[in-house]
Amino acid sequence: MEKKKNDNGSNHGERDEYFKERAGTDDARFHVVPHDEEGWAVKTEGEDEPGYTSDSKSEAVKEAKRMAEEAETMAIIHDEDGKIEEQHNYQE
């Protein structure tokens, strides 16, 4: 379920708190997001720096799925605009 952000950005703090609570825990999920000009990154919730970068979205998705499966968590794939496109759940 995707939450829509209000124009005034009121959801921003709530989202940051959500990620902060999961940072460094087994609940942290992996997000495939646009990175730099033409690239893609896999970011762990709560982390500023990407854990993986690629010029190819398909390679970033493949790596996010691998990481999520290994950690028994979720891989969340975003589109070019940052909206959630698909989710892969590897939780037991």
The Cα 85–Cα 76 span in angstroms is: 8
Q: Per the domain annotation, does 13 fall within a domain?
A: no
Number of domains in the chain: 1
Q: Per the domain annotation, does 51 fall within a domain?
A: yes
Q: 64 versus 28: which is more confidently predicted?
A: 64
pLDDT, position 17: 57
Q: Per the domain annotation, does 9 fall within a domain?
A: no
* Range(s) of the domain holding residue 46: 28-89
Indicate whether 15 pLDDT > 50: no
Q: Per the domain annotation, does 4 fall within a domain?
A: no
**Sheet (strand 30-35) strand order:** 52-54, 39-44, 30-35, 74-78, 84-89
pLDDT, position 13: 58
Q: Per the domain annotation, does 46 fall within a domain?
A: yes
Mean pLDDT, all residues of the chain: 81
40-66 pLDDT, tens digit per residue, is 999 999 888 999 999 999 999 999 999
Indicate whether 79 pLDDT > 90: yes
Q: Per the domain annotation, does 12 fall within a domain?
A: no
The Cα 45–Cα 21 span in angstroms is: 9
Binning pLDDT at 50, 70 and 90, where does residue 28 land?
confident
Q: Per the domain annotation, does 63 fall within a domain?
A: yes
Q: Per the domain annotation, does 1 fall within a domain?
A: no
